[in-house]
Amino acid sequence: MNIIILTGRQGATKALTLGSPWVFAGLVSIIAMPIAAAIVTWQLSGSGNTTESPSVATDYDRIWEQSLNEYELGADYIKEESQVQLEHMTQQLSRLQTRLSRLDALGERLTELADLSDGEFDFNTDSGMGGPELPTHSEFYEGADVQTVLDQLSDRIDNRTRQLRLLEELMRNRQIDANALLDFTPVQVGRISSGFGRRTDPITKRSAMHSGLDFAAPRGTAIHAVGAGVVTFAGRRGAYGNMIEISHAGGYKTRYAHAQELQAKKGDLVKKGQQIATVGSTGRSTGPHLHLEVYHKGMAINPARFLALK
């Protein structure tokens, strides 16, 4: 190979002749340089990855271990929290069961006292329920948990509470009706000495109408109201002597005559069986006794009708 070299001085040239070995060596050098550069680059890259690998692996192991620890801590916390909630719900369940047992016992006792045997109030069994079973979208059945039992107990307690309220209202109404009845015996000792209707007058000995019942009893014997009401008169009234008059519900009125001492005054609210006076012989009387009269809307009624209801 001939190489011509131009110089800067007066355009002079020089010729350089290279043999075949030099030409071959040059071509090999030119081709080998890119290959060598690629090899060096690959080795550098490979050695760098080799040095980083253990560090990265260590970081992954540490992160994984930390995650496992956090998961275990979270699981322990959830278990502990669930246990606390379960204990709380169990205590609540026990309280509800105790309350339900007390309500059942109270309901049974009140039912017996009210003499209700028709099955309207039953505290031994739950209310009847039923209906067709409808399909659900869920294919899985979940057993009753503590919360479900609590809900069922709450429903039973609500049912018992409603029954007790109805029972209370019924007994209150019965009590009002019972107080309204004029069936309390006005004196606890003595006997009926004169009945209601026509009789021979004890003073004139002539036939006359007797508008009440006479109860012969020792002087000072307690006189009781035959029913609840309001005292509309308390004082002296002619042939009745010392008398008390009581107005009752439904247009009824009772009179207690010939008393010795009056223990109630006008305007007093009296209960059935309350003592209102004592037996005497004031007014038109032949001896200590109580004269009892019952009126309904101004018409005299035989008191024995009411006393027979006792």
Task: For residue 135, give the 3-state DSSP assignment.
Answer: coil
Average of per-residue pLDDT across 64-69: 66
Task: For residue 302, give the 3-state DSSP assignment.
Answer: coil
307 vs 252, which has greater pLDDT? 252
Report the pLDDT value the prediction gives residue 137, as an integer from 0 to 100: 47
Residue 67 lies in a domain: no
Give the pairing of strands 275-279 and 252-262.
antiparallel
Rounded to whole angstroms, the maximal C-alpha distance in the chain is 193
Task: For residue 307, give the 3-state DSSP assignment.
Answer: helix
Residue 283 lies in a domain: yes
For residue 280, give the DSSP letter. Answer: B
> What CATH number did the domain enclosing 207 receive?
2.70.70.10
Indicate if the alpha-carbon torsion angle 283, 286, 292, 293 is positive or negative.
Answer: negative
Average of per-residue pLDDT across 174-181: 69
Average of per-residue pLDDT across 241-261: 94
Report the pLDDT value the prediction gives residue 276, as an integer from 0 to 100: 97
pLDDT in tens, 81-111: 666 777 777 777 777 777 777 777 776 766 6
Residue 265 lies in a domain: yes
Residue 17 lies in a domain: no
**Count of domains for the chain:** 1
The DSSP line for 55-93 is: HHHHHHHHHHHHHHHHHHHHHHHHHHHHHHHHHHHHHHH
Helix (H) or strand (E) segment spanning residue 30: helix 20-113
The token pair that represents 40 in the structure block: 């060096």
Report the pLDDT value the prediction gives residue 132, as an integer from 0 to 100: 57
Residue 83 lies in a domain: no
- Phi/psi at 209 (5° precision): -80, 130
For 308, counting Cβ atoms within 10 Å of its Cβ (0-12 exposed, 13-18 middle, 19+ buried), the class is exposed
For residue 11, give the DSSP letter. Answer: T
Domain that holds residue 268: 191-305
